[in-house]
Amino acid sequence: MTEPQSALLLRRQLAVDKNGDVCISILHEPGEDKYGYEKPEERWLPIHTVETIMISVISMLADPNGDSPANVDAAKEWREDRHGAFKRKVARCVRKSQETAFE
């Protein structure tokens, strides 16, 4: 059995691309960002621990960055109707995750 690429719950998250890859600065290759969006010190460094990575993931979930989304469609929905259609889609993803969690 292999580990899942991402939980279904995250499929509607702005920082998760259509392939299910989590896109947060702390996990990006070290060095300069070719797009100039991230500072080198925001990217991967060998000093990061499980704790610093988890804090980054919690931050991503609590306060999504709509200015630099990996999932453009989700970001558009989030900006236009975050408390309506977007919230309903997230709720459906959560239910589906719960139903398939132990398969």
What positions carry a catalytic annotation? 23
Q: What are the angstrom distances between the C-alpha of 29 and each of 19, 22, 45, 86, 95?
A: 18, 13, 9, 31, 34
Token pair 């797009």 is at which residue?
35
Instruction: Tell me how far apart the alpha carbons of residues 92 and 97 are, in angstroms, rounded to a whole number.
Output: 9
